[in-house]
Copies of this chain bind each other. A is one copy, B any other.
Amino acid sequence: MVEGLTFASRFDKVTGSAIREIFKYLAKPGMISFAGGNPSLAALPDEICAELAHDVLKADGKRILQYGATEGYPPFVESLRDYLTQQYDFDWELNGLLPTTGSTSCMDLVCKALLNPGDAVLVESPTFLGNMQTLNLYQAKLIPVESDEGGVMLDKLEEAIQQHHPKLFYVIPSFQNPSGRTLAADRRKPIAELAAKYGFLVMEDDPYRDLRYTGEHLPTIKSYDKTGHVAYMGSFSKIISPGMRVGYLVAEKDILRKCTIGKQGTDLHTPNLNQAIVDQFLRRGLLAPHIESIIPAYKEKMELMLKELDSFPAGTKYTVPEGGLFIWVEMPETFNATEVFQEAVENNVAYVPGTHFYPYGGHHNTFRLNFSNSTPEQIKEGMEKLRKLFEKHM
């Protein structure tokens, strides 16, 4: 470190995202990776985006290249609002809408608006490690709340609320990362009600919602919010492109205003070009057919991976998601997926050890599998490798 300088205390417990570190192994030639959360390359609409980028710069290039409003590129704010109004039941009297630089930036801005060091934040157990890192950078006190097949357990949630008086509850309701589970329909309204009753904010992070392969869409937690106690974080990363970094926040107007002021000091505004491209996806009606076109291959890959898991060693449990990108695997207690990871990588196959998804580690018998970013052949080959490796370690 540079002489005389010390890092801010917010970094005391933060060493970098484990997944981003694991990514370094994945560059190895021949590696089959079930580790990332990447969309399939085939699902990325490069031809369409090339055309849209060209068109928007031709049609509105001066405005797109000039400074934009922190509040968003006006045509996109309009089309996004229309799109959300068609899809969801958001109350636009109570709430506002802010385009963000990916939904990671929603997380950052809501934390910036609300969290003081030491504030309690409830999270599902397990939960998305990237956003745990964001929470840790705000020096939140993370309180894991137990989940079952229907997502977070309401009695455990209320118990944690009463004990810890949280500022936030961070929850991924659809095809959760990492567990693949969906929050049960009958737990959604009670969560909104608990937030209003106890005075905390639910951060509903819903990037996978449109990647549903079976069953019906459930109402968002936000749709039950009448008092501003739920913030909804949306993203186009999984349904158009993660490299584009376009997400959005729907939140009560005072909260949104603070997030907007925070954003002035973070990136000033989300790049206009990226908002304009997504705007055209919405205006030209390209999004729904694009989502429809990518779902069959994702569904097929998920089913294939589930089938492969069928013949894993006795005692292997796994979730059967209705959508999303992940399957969660729980091995017998004696198995250590964290230790075996290194050997898996040497065998050219990668996953994410489940321990990274728990605020206080442990749970070494669990791991997360991603199926979207591998071919069916890679899924067969990689799962075969894992099965053999795991059998050896049972």
Interface residues of A (CB under 8 A from B): 1-11, 14-17, 20, 23, 36-39, 41, 44-47, 49-51, 53-54, 57-58, 61-70, 101-102, 104-105, 107-108, 112-116, 130, 133-134, 137, 167, 196, 198-201, 227-229, 237, 240-245, 252, 254-255, 258, 260-262, 264-274
Complex: chain B residue closest to A69, CB-CB: B23
Q: Are A65 and B38 in contact (CB under 8 A)?
A: no
- Complex alpha-carbon distance, A49 and B66, angstroms: 12
Residues A108 and B200 in contact in the complex (CB < 8 Å), given A61-B44, A229-B2: no
- Complex alpha-carbon distance, A14 and B68, angstroms: 21
- Complex alpha-carbon distance, A273 and B244, angstroms: 7
Tell me which of B39, B53, B240, B267 contacts A53 (CB under 8 A).
B53
Cβ–Cβ < 8 Å partners of A105 in chain B: 266-267
With both chains docked as a complex, state the minimum distance between the C-beta of A337 and any C-beta of chain B, in angstroms: 23
With both chains docked as a complex, state the minimum distance between the C-beta of A272 and any C-beta of chain B, in angstroms: 4
Q: Are B50 and A58 in contact (CB under 8 A)?
A: yes
Q: Are B227 and A8 in contact (CB under 8 A)?
A: no
Complex: chain B residue closest to A165, CB-CB: B4
With both chains docked as a complex, state the minimum distance between the C-beta of A111 and any C-beta of chain B, in angstroms: 8
Cβ–Cβ < 8 Å partners of A254 in chain B: 1-2
Cβ–Cβ < 8 Å partners of A244 in chain B: 65, 271-273
Q: Are A2 and B252 in contact (CB under 8 A)?
A: yes
With both chains docked as a complex, state the minimum distance between the C-beta of A103 and any C-beta of chain B, in angstroms: 9
Q: Are B101 and A101 in contact (CB under 8 A)?
A: yes
Q: Are A46 and B57 in contact (CB under 8 A)?
A: yes
> Top 6 nearest A-B pairs by Cβ distance?
A4-B199, A46-B61, A50-B57, A65-B241, A53-B53, A134-B265
Q: Are B3 and A196 in contact (CB under 8 A)?
A: yes
Q: List 30 A-B contacts (CB under 8 A).
A: A1-B254, A4-B198, A5-B199, A5-B201, A5-B229, A8-B116, A9-B116, A15-B261, A17-B261, A20-B264, A23-B69, A37-B67, A38-B67, A39-B66, A44-B61, A44-B62, A46-B64, A49-B57, A49-B65, A53-B273, A63-B243, A64-B243, A66-B241, A66-B242, A133-B264, A244-B271, A244-B273, A245-B267, A273-B274, A274-B274
